Amino acid sequence: MTIFPIDSGRYGSKEIKHIFQENTRLKYQVNFEAAVAVAQARIKIIPIDVSEEILIAAKSNKITLERVKELEKISDHDTAALVEAIGEQCSSKSKPWIHYGLTSNDVVDSSTSMQMKDAFTIIETKILTLATILANKSIQFRSLPAVGRTHGQHASIIAFGLKFAVWAIEMIKHVERIEEGKKRFLLCKTLGVVGTGSLMGDRALEVQQIAAANLGLYPIEAATQVIPRERYAEIQFLIALIGSTLDKIAIEIRNLQRTEIGEVQEPFRKDQMGSSAVPVKRNPIKSERISSLAKILRSLVNVAMENIALWHERDLSNSANERFTLPTGMILLDEMLSLMTNIISDMNINTQRISSNLNMTNGRIYAEFVLDALVKKEMPRFKAYREIQRIAFESEKNGEYFSEAIKKDPVLADVLSPSEIEPIFNAENHLSASLKIIDNVSILVRNFIACFEEKNNHIDQ
């Protein structure tokens, strides 16, 4: 019976979950052992024919999870069981050299890095897909004036497309952070029991360099028995940071879908039910799910931070929780990115409601621009501010349109003529730098993705 919701198939793609399955993790660990043996043979620490036999055993698919678990029941040690299972596929000549000079966490931590490397490949692809969709939406709605809100109140006018441009550029920044951080957390360690290189002596660093290159990882500069957990905390923080941006987008969608605002609406399938009791409801459940999962991602950062301080060269107080934290974080982030991509792709945007909301305050949203016009007429700023505030509050009370109240007011009518007042109350005149910002972001996103793909195609070749 399934207990953990991820295992039920509810969250995460097959691709991301495959990386963290026990069988797949075993393959990462076996491949690591083989890569170290090949590196050791290259500089004549172990015989070449031994490394070849270990490599053949690693590729044989005969080292099974079932057998490793059987051996672990005897030894009560997962890495020892792994080494013994590899040894069963090798001759007596090769058995002594398997796992030579290594410690358990060389295998555990380096294979975790291999998992993270493959997981980030999936995550980065999904982030860039979302960034592209967001950039396209920003262009689609670049000239649509909308209410800009601060403190939940109407503040000024923005281009509706600017919302998407802000989100698109943050997606790009997340990929930049991941790429820049890889050299810090996609690490290979082969330095043995307490990080000295142990049985391999000063040649351990050369082994580590060769193995890291073959595995597509970076050699750790210095470590104890474990890779410093600051590195894992950074991964966990990046996962939470990306998730928090998705949460930010989800909260905006949820707010804009409120009945009172009604500017956007999540995709709603035929025959979908929004409420078991109220047939007419269309609840933003996907955005709410993203916000809910984001709370888990942020909580995992605290666990990762707690793991940084271990006793001496290491203890096991981090080990059990790390079996949950990174896999859970990656899988849930994958789910959140897929959800957000689907939401943004098919979201209904009510342009009529966006335009009508601009007029909800009877023109008071243009107060900033009236103030600017008075300042340019050399009225002292705070005198102008007080006069505008007075008229705005009176017109709100009286239900009068703000521009008409200004035209009738003896103080401001003496400064601004009707022909000067009218253009102020045209929303399209106040998009300011929005259009340029949106265009710049669109170009930046397109260029970044092109460079990213070119770089990765070069690495693959």
Residue 400 CA from chain centroid, whole number: 47
The string of pLDDT tens digits covering residues 42-55 is 999 999 999 999 99
Mean pLDDT check: name the lowest of 2-11, 62-71, 115-124, 441-450: 2-11
State the DSSP code for 349: E
Over residues 178-236, the pLDDT tens digits come to 999 999 999 999 999 999 998 998 899 999 999 999 999 999 999 999 999 999 999 99
Q: Which residues are part of the catalytic machinery?
A: 151, 275
Is residue 322 one of the residues assigned to a domain? yes
Is 323 within the bounds of a domain?
A: yes
Section 38-45 average pLDDT: 97
Residue 436 lies in a domain: no
Number of domains in the chain: 3
- CA separation for the pair 421, 417 (Å, rounded): 6
Q: Calculate what percentage of the chain has a pLDDT beyond 90.
A: 91
Do 113 and 188 contact (CB within 8 A), yes or no?
Answer: yes
Q: Do residue 398 and residue 338 come from a single domain?
A: no
Residues 215, 280 within the same domain: yes
Q: What is the pLDDT of residue 5?
A: 85
91 with 109, same domain: the answer is no
Q: Are 384 and 415 in contact (CB under 8 A)?
A: no
Question: Are 366 and 353 in the same domain?
Answer: no
Say whether both 62 and 164 belong to one domain: no
Specify whether 309 is located in the same domain as 388: no
Distance CA 405, CA 252 (A): 33
Q: Can you give the CATH number for the domain in which 82 is found?
A: 1.10.275.10
Last residue of a domain, one of 97, 125, 153: 97
Q: What pLDDT, on a 0 to 100 scale, did the predictor assign at position 278?
A: 63
Task: Provide the pLDDT for residue 282.
Answer: 80
Average pLDDT of the residues in 19-34:
97
Instruction: For residue 5, tell me if it sits in a domain.
Output: no
Q: How confident is the model at residue 6 (pLDDT cuts 50, 70, 90)?
A: confident
The whole-number average pLDDT for the span 168-180 is 98
Q: Coil, helix or strand for 220? A: coil
Domain boundary among 322, 357, 392: 357
Q: pLDDT by residue (tens digit) across 321-345?
A: 999 999 999 999 999 999 999 999 9
Q: Which CATH number does the domain housing residue 417 bear?
A: 1.10.40.30
Q: What pLDDT is stored for residue 178 in this prediction?
A: 98
- Looking at residue 65, its pLDDT comes to 96
**What does the pLDDT look like over 114-166, one tens digit per residue?**
999 999 999 999 999 999 999 999 999 999 999 999 999 999 999 999 999 99
Q: Domain span at residue 246?
A: 104-357
Mean per-residue pLDDT over the chain, rounded: 94
Indicate which CATH number applies to the domain containing 194: 1.20.200.10
Residue 297 lies in a domain: yes
Q: How many CA atoms lie within 13 A of 284 on its CB side?
A: 27
How does 349-385 read in b/e, with b if 16+ C-beta sit within 10 Å?
ebeebbbebbeebbbbbbbebbbebbeeeebeeeebe
> Would you state the structure tokens that stand for residue 435, as one six-digit string?
């259009």
Query: Residues 257, 388: one domain?
Result: no
Residues 170 and 70 in one domain: no
**Last residue of one domain, picked from the residues 62, 97, 132:** 97
Residue 361: pLDDT band by 50, 70, 90 thresholds?
very high
Same domain, yes or no, for 110 and 255?
yes
* pLDDT band of 408, cuts 50, 70, 90: very high
Q: Which CA distances in Å does 333 have to 289, 290, 364, 367?
A: 12, 9, 41, 42
> What is the pLDDT averaged over residues 82-93?
96
- Can you give the pLDDT at residue 10? 87
Q: Domain for residue 452, yes or no?
A: no
What is the structure's pLDDT at 439? 97
Asked if 157 and 299 sit in the same domain, the reply is yes
Is 461 domain-assigned? no
d(CA 146, CA 353): 10
CA–CA distance, 27 with 107 (Å, rounded to integer): 11
Q: Residue 422 in contact with residue 146, Cβ under 8 Å? A: no
Residue 115 near residue 28, CB atoms below 8 Å: yes
pLDDT in tens, 270-314: 666 666 666 667 888 999 999 999 999 999 999 999 999 999 999
Residue 224 shares a structural domain with residue 277: yes
User: Is residue 290 assigned to a domain?
Assistant: yes
The pLDDT value given to residue 283:
86
My answer on whether 258 and 289 are in the same domain is yes
